[in-house]
Structure 1
Amino acid sequence: MLKNPVWAALAGPQACFAEAAGDAARYSPEIAPFAALRDPADPAAWRDLATITDVAVLTGPSITPPTGWETTEVLAGVQMIGQSMTGVDDPDAVVLTEADVPEMLELVARAQPGPFRKRTVDLGRHLGIRDDDGRLVAMAGERFRLPGWTEVSAVCTDPEFRGKGLGARLTLAVAAGILARGELPFLHTVHDNEDAIRLYGRLGFEHSGDVVFASFRRTATS
């Protein structure tokens, strides 16, 4: 399941966010750029994917497209799981809602945590920390939700406020909410972000496998 988390999410707890066809599914583009196949090695699943989109971002241990699709970008990443960690609530964290989306998008533009769109907040609980002037300066939230697991995502801090531990605090606070539901947290980060990998390790996350985030484009109508 964790080897194909987007499929497990879109075919399970987050089916309400899915545009699906046979053995393929994707999130609404306003929510996230990700799509998934029940079995990425099955050409029939790619044919199903072609009925709902001409471009797709998939994640998994390794993905090779069939004839009719080309790889346009591959980003190496790691998956980490919090199977034995303890979350910590943060008294300064505030729950972010749809009303906060403009500020969240501005923070994402400054901090560049990865894909975050105007309806990503719909996927789960997001928490933020504001400075003394009320400006949103750090946030973290939930993204992929599968049976028994929820991903911690969108962990980011305004460049002016880095080095204060805000990202770590919010990661632990989001994890605390996941654990309180009886689920386990997991997350992804890029392979060469050694600082983030070390930080998540100190917070109790353990490496569970290497993954790729790969973008594909359809090149044929068949």
Structure 2
Amino acid sequence: MIAPELDNPFWSSLRTRHRDIALLNGEAARYPAEFAPFLGVAHAGVDIAQALTPLVASGESVYLLGVAPVVSDGWQLEAFRPLAQMVCTAPLDVVDGPGIIPLSDAHRADVLALTALVYPHYFRARTMEMGRYFGIYQEGRLAAIIGERLGTEAYTEMSAICTHPDFNGRGYARRLTAMLANDTLARGRTPFLHVSHENTRAKQLYEQIGFRHRRDIGFWSLKHA
């Protein structure tokens, strides 16, 4: 699949899907901290001092995906193991299960509690405003969620796919992922997602239901010292 926008997904999303909330300075852009700790650069040769200093506070850390600049004094760049970027190009089988509902601001406290427990690193108070979110409630509790995060006109990222430990093994993540992937395809966009190679259970699930590995993609943290 030739999809250059997926090779630099933070920058691509900030310049298209999320341009209305992007904080932009020349060839760098970031999400407001209350949405996500993500920053994108147009290319690796961006002048980091000129482009990023107005965007990243002293002592703050942000994350980059796909493209990272060459660091200069006053900045610390740490490389993590690349993530698996996966795409879905054909409808998936949706397994039977409990009802799926759209999540709104009325569910925000439940979503924040669940993500703080099982998806704590990148979810923020206003992350839900980056796209649509869906969930499954059981026994009066939020058992599992899925949402939309990055994207362009042609691609939508599936994100925050997580299940409360008390409800693991019931197929809720599979059901949610297939539902949202199929809805995305029906809207004329290609679903994609990112998963750590260390998260073998999730990676195997996505492979089993029909996502395929597009590429490994670089992942870094950047701190303004």
TM-score (normalised: structure 2): 0.89
Say yes or no: does 1:116 pair with 2:123. Answer: yes
- How many angstroms apart in 2 are the aligned matches of 1:47 and 1:184? 35
d(CA) in 1 for partners of 2:164, 2:98: 20
Instruction: Give the C-alpha shift of residue 72 in structure 1.
Output: 4.1
Moved over 6 A (4+): none
Matched, 1:135 2:141: yes
**Aligned counterparts, 1:8-87, within 5 A:** 8-39=12-43, 41-44=44-47, 47-54=50-57, 55-60=61-66, 63=68, 65-68=70-73, 69-72=75-78, 74-86=80-92
Unaligned runs of 5+ in 1: none
Matching residue within 11, 18, 21 for 1:7:
11
How many residue pairs end up in the alignment?
216
After superposition, the CA RMSD in angstroms is 1.9
User: Do 1:113 and 1:156's aligned partners in 2 also have CA atoms closer than 8 Å?
Assistant: no
Q: Percent same amino acid at aligned positions?
A: 36
Deviation at 1:95, TM superposition (A): 0.3
Unaligned stretches of 5+ in structure 2? none
Partner Cα separation in structure 2 for residue 45 and residue 75 of structure 1: 23
- Corresponding position of 1:158: 164
Distance 1:91 1:130, change over 3 A: closer
Q: Is the 8 A contact 1:80 1:187 kept in 2?
A: yes
Tell me the alpha carbon deviations over residues 48-67 of structure 1, each in whole angstroms, 9 at most, x when there is no partner.
1222114321011x635321
For the Cα contact (< 8 Å) 1:108–1:116, is it kept in 2? Answer: yes
Letter in 1 for 2:224: R
Q: Quote the Cα distance in structure 2 between the aligned partners of 1:111 and 1:70.
A: 27
For the structure 1 residues 165 and 216, does the alpha-carbon distance in structure 2 shift closer, same or farther, using more than 3 Å as the test?
same
Name the TM-score, length of structure 1 as normaliser.
Answer: 0.90
Equivalent in 103, 118, 132 of residue 125 of structure 1:
132
> Per-residue displacement from partner, 1:195-214 (whole Å, max 9, x unpaired)?
11111011111001112321
- 1:9·1:147 contact (CA, 8 Å) conserved in 2? no
Tell me the residue number matched to 1:96. 103
The answer (yes or no) to whether the contact 1:57–1:213 under 8 Å persists in 2 is yes
Q: Which residue number corresponds to residue 147 of structure 1?
A: 153
Does the aligned pair in 1 maintain the 2:48–2:71 contact within 8 Å?
A: no
2:203 is aligned to 197
* Aligned-residue offset at 1:46: 5.5
Distance 2:93 2:222 in 1: 36
Task: Specify whether residues 67 and 83 from structure 1 end up closer, same or farther in structure 2 by C-alpha distance, changes over 3 A only.
Answer: same
Instruction: Name whichever of 9-18 and 42-51 sits farther off.
Output: 42-51
